[in-house]
Amino acid sequence: MENSAPLRAESLIRSIPDFPQKGVLFRDITPVLADADAFREVVDRLVALARQLRPDRILGIESRGFLMGAPIALELGLGFALARKEGKLPADKIREEYALEYGTNVLELHSDAVRPGERVVVVDDLLATGGTAAAAGRMVQRLGGTPAGFLFFIELEFLKGRSRLEDYPVHSLVRF
């Protein structure tokens, strides 16, 4: 299902040590976003993967998941839902606490973001420990939807986040 051709965008990912805290090697995608051809390449590959998962809706995780997920939704002619950090959504919402590679956080989702029976593809820029994605998947289920799969631009394999999503298709374009 995944395209095995080299991804030019991979060479643009910048590695920044000790950000946001000591011991973390941050993978910065802003150079990819700044290069229209590279960004298009990433979106096109993610669209192809999403199409095969037959979603009814795309859900992007704050904030870089919005950058990847919104163009996928547009390309597929689907609605787009936002999983946001606590306190950012104005209407009735559900919340889910989760652990990430350097702390804990809370995600929220509008209560009407997913309709019962919908197949939802969850999109983010990075899969690390899988806590954020798993929290988004649990919220989709709480609203009566089904996680159809999870798509990521980058996967940090050594953090084994994929194992937290093992009941679903998981695809990443670049692995470190």
Neighbours of 90 (CB within 10 A): 7
- Ranges of residues in the chain with a pLDDT under 70 are 1-4, 100-102
pLDDT of residue 146: 98
What is the tens place of the pLDDT at every residue in 102-135?
A: 678 999 999 999 999 999 999 999 999 899 999 9
Q: Domain coordinates of the chain in residue numbers?
A: 15-175
Q: Is 64 a catalytic residue?
A: yes
- Secondary element (H or E) of residue 96: strand 93-100
Fold of 15-175: Rossmann fold (3.40.50)
| Residue 43 backbone zone (phi > 0: left; psi -120 to 50: alpha; other: beta) | alpha
pLDDT of residue 39: 98
Measured between alpha carbons, how far is 40 from 153 in angstroms, rounded to an integer?
12
- Which residue from 77, 176, 94 is spatially nearest to 135, judged by alpha carbons? 94
- Choosing from 10, 75, 101, 138, which is the catalytic residue? 101
pLDDT of residue 3: 61
Q: Quote the mean pLDDT of the chain.
A: 95
Secondary structure (3-state) at 10:
helix
Q: Is 101 a catalytic residue?
A: yes
- Choosing from 27, 45, 57, 64, which is the catalytic residue? 64
